[in-house]
Structure 1
Amino acid sequence: MFERWKKKTVNKVEVKAPLTGQAVPLSQVPDEAFAAGHMGKGIAIEPSEGRLVAPFDGTVAHVIKTKHAVMLEEKATGLQYLFHIGINTVGLKGEGYTSHVSIGDSVKAGQTLIEFDIDTIKAAGYPIVTPVIVTNADELASDVEGHTGSVTAGSDSVLSITLNS
């Protein structure tokens, strides 16, 4: 009888920016795999500072050997994220990147994951735009919405994710 007054719970997750810079749609990333959403849903950030931080408490699921990318799993939701610093930067073989985490590490929001030298990446001819991808959104989320514009790491929301109920 009182079903219509029952509050519906919508599980929504806000993901803070892992970088300071300019958030842009994935479609603007100069790599078809990211731009077309083949890697997953998300956003990209053109960083103005060379520091990637954890946007939430989580666990390091993977660190790419060349240190240009890291995957985190959010403890509260099970969502997994890929942070890929630059495009085709695997070619740098780790030059200009310093990883501060290892697979299995627990991380806290705001903790530095990777430091990188923007000038080194640009001098090598690689774009520094950094895709932020929810790799398992198809399994766990009904909607992933990106927020563009100027962002500050750990402060501004770049993704709103509606979880499957």
Structure 2
Amino acid sequence: MFSRWKSKQEEKHAVVSLNIAAPVSGQAVPLSEVPDETFAGGHMGKGIAIEPTEGKLTAPFDGTIAHVVKSNHALILEHASGLQLLMHIGIDTVSLKGNGFISHIASGDEVKAGQTLIEFDLEMIRSAGYRTITPVIVTGSGEDLPEVDCHYGAVSVGQSSILTVALQQ
């Protein structure tokens, strides 16, 4: 018996799935439920939103912090595969200018799954009149965007899979 050798072209298009764990505990809902057209319309990419029950955002996988927004309400985490995940705490929370957010990371940091990235004060955000719903989005556009399956319902940080992403290898 002999095995079939894959050509370089076939190897190039192998698909691997990446399961992305919940970065916050709460209720996972479709992006269409986010009260912001940029997110709800999928203009930032495909993903899910979580209505958080606690104010702690953690790394859903090992990766590198590609960018932290100056006001600490959002960041982009990059996986070794090149996939980038945008995590945006709340809607219009940039207006808080960082009040209520404590970042434990900086751009370029290597992080491990489960590591605390940002702590945020849910009550302070709500009392300031902002929604705490947190979009979690696989960024990209057009043909670059991988296939993304979303998993809705109650989620626990680090334990529940919220997204399954098909990566081209």
TM-score by structure 2 length?
A: 0.89
Residue number in structure 2 paired with 1:92: 96
CA–CA distance in structure 2, aligned partners of residues 61 and 79 of structure 1: 11
Residue number in structure 2 paired with 1:54: 59
Q: Is the 8 A contact 1:140 1:163 kept in 2?
A: no
Higher-Rg structure is 2
Q: Is the 8 A contact 2:44 2:140 kept in 1?
A: no
Secondary structure, in 3 states, of the residue corresponding to 1:131?
A: strand
Deviations 1:1-48 (A, max 9, x none): x87xxxx95411110000000000000000000000001110000000
Q: Is the 8 A contact 1:79 1:140 kept in 2?
A: no
CA–CA distance in structure 2, aligned partners of residues 95 and 18 of structure 1: 21
- Return the letter of the residue paired with 2:33: Q
Q: Identical aligned pairs, as a percentage? A: 58
Q: Is the 8 A contact 2:139 2:145 kept in 1?
A: no
Secondary structure, in 3 states, of the residue corresponding to 1:11?
A: strand
TM-score by structure 1 length?
A: 0.91
Residue number in structure 2 paired with 1:111: 115
Q: Is the 8 A contact 1:18 1:52 kept in 2?
A: yes
Q: For the aligned residues, what is the CA RMSD?
A: 1.8
Q: Is the 8 A contact 2:46 2:148 kept in 1?
A: yes
Residue number in structure 1 paired with 2:22: 17
Task: Show the 5 A alignment for 1:28-39.
Answer: 28-39=33-44
Q: Which runs of 4+ in 1 moved over 6 A?
A: none
Gaps of 5+ in 1: none
- Return the letter of the residue paired with 2:155: V
